[in-house]
Amino acid sequence: MSIVRLTDVEVEFVRGLVGRVRWAKERNDGFPSPEWSTKEQLAVALVLGNQDYLAGQGYLMSSVLDRVCVGMISRYEDRIAWLNDIRDAIDDLIRGAG
């Protein structure tokens, strides 16, 4: 994890994703549910690194970072470092939930 700590807004973002990420990993081969909003689907695919899903929706990883994470990554010089921090936080929350 990088040196920059997640803000309260980012922590809430992560908490909102935990259940969806877990569901996608455990029940849908890492793919988001079509019943979720587009932003939720893109966020789950982004966190899981599901480039097949993103490409199928006509997105590149970089454009999804811009769309999903607007306002949350300005403190990071490296957007991938931010994404890795989000992934680490989700993994921590999932492990903590057992």
pLDDT tens per residue, range 48-96: 989 999 999 999 887 887 777 665 555 556 677 777 877 887 778 777 7
DSSP label of 7: P
Q: What pLDDT score was predicted for residue 35?
A: 95
Cβ 85 vs Cβ 4: under 8 Å: yes
What share of the chain in percent tops pLDDT 70? 82
CB 78 within 8 A of CB 52: no
For residue 21, is pLDDT > 60?
A: yes
Alpha carbon 1 to its chain centroid, in Å, reads: 15
Rounded to 10°, the helix 79-97/8-27 angle is 70
Residue 91 burial (CB count, 10 A): 13
Q: Which residues contact 77 (CB under 8 A, 6 or more apart)?
A: none
What ranges do the domains of the chain cover? 8-97
pTM over 0.85: no
User: DSSP letter at 92?
Assistant: H
- Asked whether residue 4 carries a pLDDT value surpassing 60, the answer given is no
Read off the pLDDT band of 16 (50, 70, 90): confident
Query: How crowded is residue 17: how many other Cβ atoms within 10 Å of its Cβ?
Result: 23
